[in-house]
């Protein structure tokens, strides 16, 4: 019916064509993240989807969001007139809710076709048969889904990893990668070492330059972040050693902090720095935030739906996402499943119609042209600092409900 690359290309094209330049990153100086919701609608008169006769479906981007910022708790307003979380995934979901409200209004007033049809009870509505929604993000969501192992030969990014690693909290590290003089810098979220690690540079390379590669000799093993079918023998096992003899030496680290009062990260050297599966809050600029990580929020959407409490008063059943597609970036299929599905398996006592969904998760091999990685590659060695788009918590959003866009 569709592929991950088709979804990514559709969202990238929509971003380029439908959104004006205002609010977009400044070339060669700023970067951003992109998220979107795509409506997939198949014809009701078609049969089952088979290799010989695939079902034809229409694909439409119904909401788009960009952004990387989140305000600290001291800047939150009791009046609710300030948006706390402006990460792309959250903005795209808010725009999607606006789209759903508009579609519900169309259904209630009978003005034109809507994605909603009457439910079994009066005043209740449900999705039209054959309508599905795909969530796209140009990067893995912050928080638990971004804790991805790093093999010894890698600079960036990493292979998708085995299920054994993703479901275990600790993996054997290659040694003490944090020297005493660098320990404080590793723990400081604003230090040059931590910032480089957020860019995808392994801790061992930040601390020791290219010494590891020189010591090993030869060319590093090539890795393709967009390949989900890497042979199992190339993946790191729970022992932290791949079949090629290279250890899991570190993990891609998330800036999201563990929820206060809950278990915390061990913060040990290398691969044992993080504890996986925990709830986390997004980092702030010196001021702790109260906003949960995007991994946690997307996991919640996969249980409670994307419609929100207000719309649920008028819906017979929640509006769930059928698939999540991630763009080209450091990625782990198992970490994504753990973060969005696995952590919620024990959730119980839910109202009728709610439940943990068996969400499909895919990755595209297409890179977002205004991602940090792409902009850095274009920028090369030119002078000037690379920064997230917008000096404040500014994000771009677009909804097909009124074809408007605001910042």
Give the residue numbers annotated as catalytic, written as ranges.
89
Locate 117 and state its tokens: 């049809």
Using only C-alpha atoms, the chain has a radius of gyration, in whole angstroms, of 22
Sorted by sequence, the CB contacts under 8 Å of residue 263 that are 6+ apart come out as 275, 278
Residue with tokens 């402006």: 86
Helices (H), 264-304: 294-304
SS3 134: strand
Give the three-state DSSP class for 281: strand
Alpha-carbon gap, residue 112 to 397, rounded angstroms:
25
Name 137's bridge partners: 35, 326
CB 69 within 8 A of CB 86: yes
Q: Which two tokens stand for residue 380?
A: 């090369």
For the chain, report the end-to-end CA distance as a whole number of angstroms.
Answer: 34
- Please state, in angstroms and rounded to a whole number, the distance separating the CA atoms of residues 306 and 61: 16
CA torsion angle 84 89 91 96 (round to 10): -140
CA distances from 145 to 259, 296, 315, 393 (A): 16, 9, 30, 23
The SS3 call for residue 333 is helix
Per DSSP, 254 falls in state: P
């Amino acid at each position: 019916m569709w592929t991950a690359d088709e979804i990514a290309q559709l969202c990238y094209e929509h971003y380029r064509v439908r959104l004006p330049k205002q609010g977009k990153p400044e070339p060669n100086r700023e970067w951003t993240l992109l998220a979107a919701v795509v409506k997939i609608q198949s014809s009701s008169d078609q049969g089952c989807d088979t290799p010989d006769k695939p079902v034809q479906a229409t694909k439409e981007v119904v909401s788009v969001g960009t952004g990387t910022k989140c305000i600290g708790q001291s800047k939150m307003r009791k009046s609710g007139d300030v948006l706390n979380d402006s990460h792309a995934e959250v903005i795209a979901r808010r725009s999607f809710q606006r789209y759903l409200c508009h579609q519900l209004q169309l259904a209630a007033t009978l003005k034109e076709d809507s994605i909603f049809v009457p439910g079994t009870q009066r005043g209740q509505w449900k999705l039209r048969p054959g309508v599905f929604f795909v969530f796209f993000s140009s990067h893995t969501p912050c928080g638990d889904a971004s804790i991805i192992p790093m093999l010894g030969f890698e600079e960036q990014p990493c292979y998708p990893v085995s299920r054994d690693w993703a479901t275990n909290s600790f993996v054997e590290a290659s040694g003490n990668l944090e020297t005493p003089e660098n320990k404080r810098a590793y723990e400081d979220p604003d230090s040059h070492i931590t910032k480089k690690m957020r860019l995808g540079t392994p801790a061992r390379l930040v601390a020791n330059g290219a010494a590891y590669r020189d010591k090993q000799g030869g060319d590093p093993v090539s890795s393709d972040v967009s390949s989900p079918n890497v042979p199992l023998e190339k993946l790191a096992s729970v022992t932290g050693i791949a079949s090629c003899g290279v250890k899991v030496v570190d993990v891609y680290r998330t800036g999201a902090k563990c929820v206060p009062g809950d278990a915390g990260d061990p913060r040990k050297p290398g691969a044992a720095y993080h504890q996986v599966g925990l709830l986390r809050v997004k980092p702030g600029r010196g001021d702790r935030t109260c906003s949960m990580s995007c991994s946690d929020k997307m996991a919640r959407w996969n249980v409670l739906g994307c419609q929100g409490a207000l719309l649920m008063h008028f819906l017979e059943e929640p509006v769930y996402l059928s698939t999540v597609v991630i763009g080209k970036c450091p990625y782990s299929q198992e970490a994504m499943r753990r973060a969005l599905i696995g952590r919620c398996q024990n959730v119980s006592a839910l109202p009728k119609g709610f439940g943990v969904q068996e969400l499909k998760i895919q990755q595209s091999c297409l890179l977002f042209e205004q991602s940090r990685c792409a902009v850095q590659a274009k920028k090369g060695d030119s002078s000037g600092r690379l920064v997230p788009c917008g000096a404040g918590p500014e994000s771009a959003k677009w909804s097909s409900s009124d074809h408007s866009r605001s910042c």
